[in-house]
Amino acid sequence: MILKIKHTSEKPSGVRNLFLVNDTSSLKDFGFNADALAYVKLKEEAKEKLITIKAYNITYYVVIVDKGELNDKSLEVLRKNGHTITSGMRKDKEEAICVYDSTGNKEAVLALTEGLALSTYQFDKYLSKKDKSFGEFNIWVATPVVNQEDLNELQLLCESVFATRDLVNEPVSTMDVAELSKTIEQLGEKHGFTVEIFNKTKLESLKFGGLLGVNKGSIDPPAFHILEWKPQNATNTKPVVLVGKGVVFDTGGINLKTPPGSLDDMKSDMGGAASVVGALTAVSANKLPVHVIGLIPATDNRPGGNAIVPGDILSMHNGTTVEILNTDAEGRLILADALSYSKKYDPELVIDLATLTGSAVMAIGHYATVGMGTADSTIFDELTKSGYRVNERVVQFPFWDDYDDLIKSEVADIKNIGGREGGSITAGKFLSHFVEAPWIHLDIAGPAFVRKEDSYRGFGASGVGVRLLYDFLKSRS
């Protein structure tokens, strides 16, 4: 599916029309007749904000927004309105729409357009019968409050989300470590960020004990990816480092996942890696003036070969020894080496993203991301505000010293699980042993992959993290 978002000062022909208004009386300026105005007024009195009008073979839409500054919740409603409209157009096999704005509210226009755009995503490459009528979707925007540059930025951001969704939605048979590396290199070449990849021999020389340990059960070698966007006009003197968990498929290892059915969506266990790739793509494609580095350790976790077993002890990149009590707690092992390696860059901030724990899902479901770490409250507040702006919310969990005792080991420095209580927090506590810079851990296990369509986030991979990080980095730059 090809997405195109274009600014227009004219009325394009052969497209559906969408009118964004504060006052329905302004619809007279768009040629609404008395009957149409009466119908809209009736719906408005019934408190409807999205009104669909069908007259013979013509369908058009009216979206009503309150006057004045909109809050985060109102903007999310507009995105969801966009999804409702795109879904209806898909059913009707329509693929072009023009948004006419009479509100003069830039945020409202962009939020509605974003909802339309994000809802066009399809992962249909393996379907024998594809919906060929929805191969290209065109969105025209008629308003003086946004320009083509604004729309280009939005389109590149949406395409970056789509790239992340594609990475996660691909099965491991077609998205193994080698293919992940290839895709990252292609995106880097296209959008301008550099890519360096360490092979197994290099990782052995660097003593990446966590990544190599998890990989021992696989017939495919691991890889470590370094993505960098460093523009000459970067506003930060020290880089922001993003770290993403890249387990391309997680069986649980020797501690095979149970019950049956818990393996079905484990192709999504590289969701953190995919989000970092999407964030670097968005930042570089839109040429944000910020120095960003992405670190992605990648492997699958399988029970074959010489797979690690409970009782094993691994020595990590920074020399910390780890007692393995559960091989299904593998994501933190590969993240640990990457977090330790981030010290090389003397970063101002490190953020990791990972589909790390079921505990995070049990705590808050798919509605938000669990966050914790050592960064100061100012940085957490910035990230929280970005989360509410784009509706990829972050809930900060406590990070008290009390939790440290739960991962102490009798035979090594620490152990890789801390029991059922506070599982998402003890996972974060484990990671804290490997990073020295100000750091935020984002557990995206809940929102990264959804089994039921979730508005413009779609079904399956949501691409969570890309819009959050882009907004956060843009606001800092």
Q: For the residues of 157-217, what is the DSSP string, one character each?
A: HHHHHHHHHHHHHS-TTTSSHHHHHHHHHHHHHHHS-EEEEE-HHHHHHHT-HHHHHHHTT
Do residues 207 and 317 touch, judged by C-beta distance below 8 A? Answer: yes
- Output DSSP code: residue 85: H
Q: Which residue in 106, 207, 257, 476 is the catalytic one?
A: 257
Alpha carbon of 119 to those of 123, 137, 164, 284: distances in Å?
Answer: 12, 10, 15, 23
Active site residue 332: yes
> How far is 365 from 361, CA to CA, in rounded Å?
4
C-alpha 161: how far from its chain's center?
6
Do residues 165 and 121 touch, judged by C-beta distance below 8 A? Answer: yes
Beta bridge partners of 294: 227, 242
Q: Which residue in 43, 79, 267, 332 is the catalytic one?
A: 332
> How far is 425 from 293, CA to CA, in rounded Å?
25
> How far is 239 from 477, CA to CA, in rounded Å?
11
SS (H, E, C) 346-412: CCCEEEEEECCCHHHHHHHCCCCEEEEECCCHHHHHHHHHHHHHHCCCEEECCCCHHHHHHHECCCC
Tell me the helices (H) and strands (E) count for the chain, helix number first: 13, 20
Do residues 243 and 351 touch, judged by C-beta distance below 8 A? Answer: yes
Active site residue 257: yes
Question: What positions carry a catalytic annotation?
Answer: 257, 332
